[in-house]
């Protein structure tokens, strides 16, 4: 399936982020899918550390992996606009200093969100994460306990039905 190709791509991206000291950890819906959830998602959420290299290195690395900064979504969450110029993307992020960055590959539709030590610091989550083999590399996936904590934060913030279902799935997983 397309998500297998996406998984390999994100595995390669995570390896590159890892090599640069960003300590990426897969969180969110795709992490739940890897744990066996039936959730349908195309988005990869990576919690990354801002303790290492500067954020502009992070942005340049994303562009080298053909992922462009998303600057506008439709109300339904579809990507409406991206920045195709890496220098403009870097300048925009320096000015705005967001806690999360959204990237998309306009050709393949792959979407990757980078959560910059938000809503939890990445390093302790990375230390507790499980390594999952992906293609020729591996990907750190947040522990079930950290995924539950992150989901509780998300649910408190947006009260969505999918977050509630995700929490039920994680609680079942933790009981097993």
What pLDDT does residue 4 have?
73
- pLDDT at residue 139 tops 70: yes
pLDDT, tens digit, for every residue of 14-32?
Answer: 999 999 999 999 999 999 9
Q: What is the mean pLDDT of residues 30-52?
A: 90
Rounded to an integer, what distance in angstroms lies between the CA atom of residue 1 and that of residue 81?
26
Is pLDDT at 123 greater than 60 in this prediction? yes
52 confidence band (pLDDT: 50, 70, 90): confident
pLDDT of residue 2: 55
| Banded model confidence at residue 134, pLDDT cuts 50, 70, 90 | confident
């Amino acid at each position: 399936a397309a998500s297998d190709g996406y998984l390999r791509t994100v595995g390669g991206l995570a390896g590159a982020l890892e090599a640069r000291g960003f300590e990426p950890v897969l969180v969110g819906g795709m992490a739940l899918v890897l744990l066996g959830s039936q959730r349908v998602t195309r988005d990869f959420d990576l919690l990354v550390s801002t303790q290492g290299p500067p954020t502009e290195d992070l942005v340049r690395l994303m562009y080298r992996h053909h992922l462009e900064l998303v600057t506008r979504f439709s109300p339904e969450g579809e990507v409406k606009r991206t920045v195709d110029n890496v220098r403009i993307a870097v300048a925009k992020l320096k000015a705005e200093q967001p806690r999360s960055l959204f990237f998309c590959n306009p050709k393949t539709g792959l979407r990757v969100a980078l959560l910059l030590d938000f809503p939890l610091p990445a390093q302790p989550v990375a230390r507790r994460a499980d390594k999952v083999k992906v293609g020729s590399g591996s990907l750190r996936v947040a522990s079930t306990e950290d995924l539950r904590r992150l989901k509780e934060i998300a649910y408190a913030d947006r009260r969505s039905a999918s977050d509630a279902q995700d929490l039920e799935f994680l609680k079942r997983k933790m009981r097993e």
